[in-house]
């Protein structure tokens, strides 16, 4: 099976990042209902802005279907970093276990980027 095209993967991840990034900006009530109460909600909003920014860049890059090495690195490394934080702090009980679902999605995204790279797909990205 051929891995998903990088443009499609960038659109998928970008859309997910946009949605999850703007969520705490739009509705604190629903965000905390799912993820648990936050003492410093400004931090959730700050992370949301950054995640949405990465997401918007990935959507724009994916729409052009010209995903270069910098965009691939940003996509994979941001997903890996978010997954690591989700797992570490959910395991410590500092954040809700619901973040483990996000970690699974992030890990799937990282795996898809790695599968693309190992299949030699980086040559047809730009």
Could you give the CA distance from residue 46 to residue 38 in angstroms, rounded to a whole number?
13
pLDDT value at residue 120:
72
Residue 125 included in any domain: no
Domain limits at 91?
A: 6-118
Averaged pLDDT score across all residues of the chain: 93
- What is the model's pTM? 0.91
Residue 104 included in any domain: yes
For helices 69-91 and 6-26, the axis angle rounded to 10 degrees is: 50
CB neighbours (10 Å) of residue 24?
24
pLDDT value at residue 96:
95
pLDDT value at residue 4:
85
Q: What is the 3-state secondary structure (H, E, C) of 55-72?
A: HHHHHHHHHHCCCCHHHH
Number of domains in the chain: 1
Mean pLDDT of the 51-65 span: 97
Task: Quick: pLDDT tens for 106-126.
Answer: 999 999 999 988 877 655 444
């Amino acid at each position: 099976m051929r891995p998903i095209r990088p443009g499609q993967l960038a659109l998928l991840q970008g859309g997910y990042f946009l949605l999850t990034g703007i969520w705490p900006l739009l509705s604190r009530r629903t965000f905390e209902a799912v993820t648990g109460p936050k003492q410093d909600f400004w931090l959730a909003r700050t992370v949301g802005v950054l995640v949405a920014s990465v997401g918007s860049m990935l959507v724009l890059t994916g729409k052009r279907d010209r995903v270069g090495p910098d965009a691939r690195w940003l996509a994979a490394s941001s997903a890996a970093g978010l997954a690591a934080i989700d797992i570490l702090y959910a395991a410590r009980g500092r954040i809700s276990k619901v973040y483990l679902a996000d970690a699974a999605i992030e890990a799937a995204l990282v795996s898809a980027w790695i599968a693309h790279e190992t299949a030699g797909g980086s040559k047809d990205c730009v």
